[in-house]
Amino acid sequence: SGRWARAMAILREFEEKCATPIGKLRQVADAMAVEMHAGLASEGGSKLKMLISYVDNLPTGDEHGLFYALDLGGTNFRVLRVQLGGKEGRVVHQESTEVSIPQKLMVSTSDELFDFIATELAKFVATEGDDFRLSAGRQRELGFTFSFPVKQSSINSGTLLNWTKGFSIDDAIGEDVVAELTKAMKRKDLDMRVAALVNDTIGTLAGGRYFNEDVVAAVILGTGTNAAYVERAHAIPKWHGLLPKSGEMVINMEWGNFRSSHLPVTEYDHALDVESLNVGEQIFEKIISGMYLGDIVRRVLCKMAEEAALFGDIVPPKLKVPFILRTPEMSTMHNDASPDLRVVGSKLKDILGISNTSLKTRKVVVELCDIVATRGARLSAAGILGILKKSGRDTVKEGAEKQRSVVAVDGGLFEHYTEFNKCVRSTLRELLGEEVADTVFIELANDGSGIGATLLAASHSQYL
């Protein structure tokens, strides 16, 4: 029928606009490397902030003592304590707990957010058992993983530049987030010192390096997306401080804010951006990360319902609700292997209130999920290639002993979305070619960032 043909036309047009042929991915990778240079050259030189982390030494294995970490960066925040035992003992004990952040706190005031965090942290500290030993007379120390763009002024201070991922708390912007946390801890009578302020990418890189010496970069594919890598200090023209002894500096790219004319951006992405809390920002993140993928699928379905009556004469009202279709549900539908796509059918009913869908309609839904996930995964791989290029790790060097490059990847999107994960890996292989691909490894760093933050707190302890 005409309606079906119209629906197919919308689907095919979307598919075309989302296409990521290998040539386009190479252009994206090249653009990423160019922007990395520009962001390192001068402050504000690029959409990529290329933030200096003040981490010039990654963990060695010698770290020891009791350290806490707090991870704030998405829908949940985690608190963690670790007893580190040096090269012998490694991670002797660890305990953690996760608390979801009430939606209203994400758009409240700085004091309200940090009071909530300090309260939860204090509760966790109160449960510290005998497995954990703080040396006599010492203050507890914390690594604070704060996964938003921060301009650091030292390893344990830095001002918030802007929020991402649905947070919007105006009075926190421009404030030192360590000072804000420290004040809240005082208000809650919690005696703890923030020894290190790190982004989750930096934490993942540090945690990754602790377990594998070949880790050179970290990528987050979760609610948002970002990356960090180890740069040569003298290749950072905007750094005017002393050159670190190690000759290296870890850079937090803030790659979520990458944009390029080579990115395949559709009308749906444009509409999502315009209706977001951070219009015009985080364009790469908005086509790649877990916060947004489900909503892109919803938007295309909505168009098909409105213009091609895909779900009958009435547009299902729930289809118009932003973010009602979340990425985990999208991945469950995408993964449906039953012959009649039973899971897709029940998800459409439960989430969107659409019952009695035909098999061919369900197939359209799966195809949409595939288009959106594939674009995001392939662009993620192109971003990784950009980092490898900038680091001179996208080729095999003749004569030199074989260099191995490990990229530590963390985040629920990469961990749980099987098709996405497989596609990142296969696309990177395709981009690198077999010979180089055999020297590059993507490693799931399952919550490496929490351990990483404790390691960095340990190596920046006031008692060293």
Q: Which of residues 332-371 bind ligand ADP (CB under 6 A)?
A: none
How far apart are the C-alpha atoms of 298 and 323, rounded to whole Å?
8
Integer Rg of the chain from CA: 23
Query: Could you tell me the smallest distance in angstroms from the CB atom of residue 64 to Mg ion?
Result: 26
How far apart are the C-alpha atoms of 82 and 68, rounded to whole Å?
6
User: Does 73 contact Mg ion by CB under 5 A?
Assistant: yes
The CA distances from residue 315 to 27, 305, 322, 384, 407, in Å, are: 39, 6, 15, 40, 44
SS3 content of the chain, % helix, strand, coil (to 5): 45, 20, 35
- Comparison of 53 and 461: residue with beta carbon closer to ligand ADP: 53
Classify residue 176 by its DSSP letter. Answer: B
Query: Could you tell me the smallest distance in angstroms from the CB atom of residue 382 to ligand ADP?
Result: 20
Helix locations, 226-341, DSSP H: 267-274, 283-288, 293-308, 327-334
Catalytic residue among 176, 200, 295, 394: 200
Segment interacting with ligand ADP (CB under 6 A) among 15-23, 39-47, 337-345, 413-421: 413-421
Cα torsion 445, 448, 449, 453: sign: negative
Query: Could you tell me the smallest distance in angstroms from the CB atom of residue 411 to Mg ion?
Result: 6
Q: Which position has the token pair 């926190």?
A: 172
Instruction: Kindly tell me which residue out of 61, 86, 244, 328 binds ligand ADP, with binding defined by CB under 6 A.
Output: 328
- Comparison of 352 and 409: residue with beta carbon closer to Mg ion: 409
User: Does 166 contact ligand ADP by CB under 6 A?
Assistant: no
Helix then strand count (H, E) for the chain reads: 16, 13
Structure tokens belonging to residue 150: 């921060």
The answer to whether residue 147 is catalytic is: yes
- Comparison of 98 and 191: residue with beta carbon closer to ligand ADP: 98
The answer to whether residue 42 is catalytic is: no
User: Does 411 contact ligand ADP by CB under 6 A?
Assistant: yes
User: Does 74 contact ligand ADP by CB under 6 A?
Assistant: yes
- Comparison of 177 and 305: residue with beta carbon closer to ligand ADP: 177
The gap between the terminal CA atoms of the chain, to the nearest Å, is: 75
Residue 162's binding partner, choosing from Mg ion, ligand ADP, none, with beta-carbon cut-off 5 to 8 A by kind? none
User: Does 75 contact ligand ADP by CB under 6 A?
Assistant: yes
Residues catalogued as catalytic: 78, 147, 200
Residue numbers of the site for Mg ion (CB under 5 A)? Answer: 73, 200, 222
Point out which residues bind ligand ADP (CB under 6 A).
73-75, 222-223, 290-291, 327-328, 331, 411-413, 416-417
